[in-house]
Amino acid sequence: MNYNSSVTSDALSEVLQDFRLSGVNYGRCELRHPWSISFPKQPLLRFHFVSKGPCWVHTEAEGWQELGAGDLILLPQGVEHRLASSPNVTENSLSACQVTGHGGNVCEVVQEGDGDISMIFCGSMALGAYALHPLISLMPSIIRGCDVATHDPMVNPLLEAMAIEASQPRMGSATILSRMADLLTARLIRCWVKSHDTSATGWLAAIRDPHIGRALVAMHRAPGANWTLETLAGTAGQSRSIFAERFSAILGEGAARYLTRLRMQLAQEWLAQNGMPVAEVASKLGYESEASFARAFKRVTSASPGAVRRSASGRTDMEFGF
């Protein structure tokens, strides 16, 4: 199978063109000081937009950071974090909040009281393009919109429009805010990619390589295809030996090992998040039998596919998901 005809020479642009976000859930929060909400680690991207403060965010990597009106933060890997009206507020406020669904995937979260009002719009998003998963893993645990806004003249106007929409809720405001958040998140990720990592090795270097990048895009687009070193080298437009040497030099591992890790990462997501049957996962990833897939999965993850699927089905949903 040869993917030369469908993959451009600029693989990074090709990957970014494939960028798709699907909003899983959103919440418009109106909270009165003192308040504090903890967000557990999740496999989805998270964002928080502050329409009106006070608001602080805490992550293990960065500690406490103060956010002002108009600030948007993105947590690409969905790391555990806490939002609070002040760093010294530690008690979780969820039990005191009234959560009202507005249909679809949008809800409103209100905490009554006498303190200052914080208005925040929060959301979780799923990444639709497999090719971007390694990119997301390279990003910092938290990104502030204002830090990358200089690389995209559209970011600040979008932030201002979100602030207006969030502060004056009208019919359809939550839906409009969710669409703005999708667009902003996509642009922030694109800004970060274009302004970071000029090293000669690693995934970003590989995707920017005119040959290796084409092979990477093809593998991520069709992880279950019957890839061999010959077909990948053909996609890259190189000889087998040159491709194998170049791939290992940039990524630090061979193409076969990379492809196996990619497949097992996808398998874990499909089993744990979607509850997909093991046989279906094996088929989608190009394995001839469920047994051969199970052996590869356990070799890479040290767990059986069935155990991962069963543990996921036994978990309960979060109190609210944004």
CATH code, 165: 2.60.120.10
Determine the Cα–Cα distance for residues 262 and 30; give it in Å rounded to an integer. 41
Relative to beta strand 55-59, strand 72-75 is unpaired
> Last residue of a domain, which of 195, 221, 248?
195
Higher-confidence position of 273 and 73: 73
Residue 153 placed within a domain: yes
Q: Are residues 162 and 54 in the same domain?
A: yes
Determine the Cα–Cα distance for residues 222 and 220; give it in Å rounded to an integer. 5
Q: Are residues 223 and 79 in the same domain?
A: no
Looking at the 3D structure of the chain, how many domains does it have?
2
> Last residue of a domain, which of 147, 167, 195?
195
Q: Are residues 184 and 48 in the same domain?
A: yes
Residue 105 placed within a domain: yes
When computed from its CA atoms, the radius of gyration of the chain, rounded to whole angstroms, is: 22
**Contact yes or no for 196/203 (Cβ under 8 A):** no
To the nearest 10 degrees (0 to 180), the angle between helices 240-251 and 229-236 is 90
Determine the Cα–Cα distance for residues 283 and 267; give it in Å rounded to an integer. 11
Would you state the pLDDT for residue 312? 65
Tell me how far the alpha carbon of residue 125 is from its chain's centroid: 7
Q: Are residues 177 and 248 in the same domain?
A: no
Mean pLDDT of 11-31: 76
Mean pLDDT of 167-194: 78
> Last residue of a domain, which of 130, 161, 195?
195
Q: Report whether pLDDT(230) > 60.
A: yes
Q: Are residues 142 and 205 in the same domain?
A: no
**Residue range 238-267, pLDDT digits in tens:** 999 999 999 999 999 999 999 999 999 889
Higher-confidence position of 98 and 283: 283
- The mean pLDDT value of the chain amounts to 84
Q: Are residues 265 and 247 in the same domain?
A: yes
pLDDT band at 317; cut points 50, 70, 90 = very low
Q: Are residues 205 and 125 in the same domain?
A: no
Domain assignment of residue 300, given as a range: 4-12+201-313
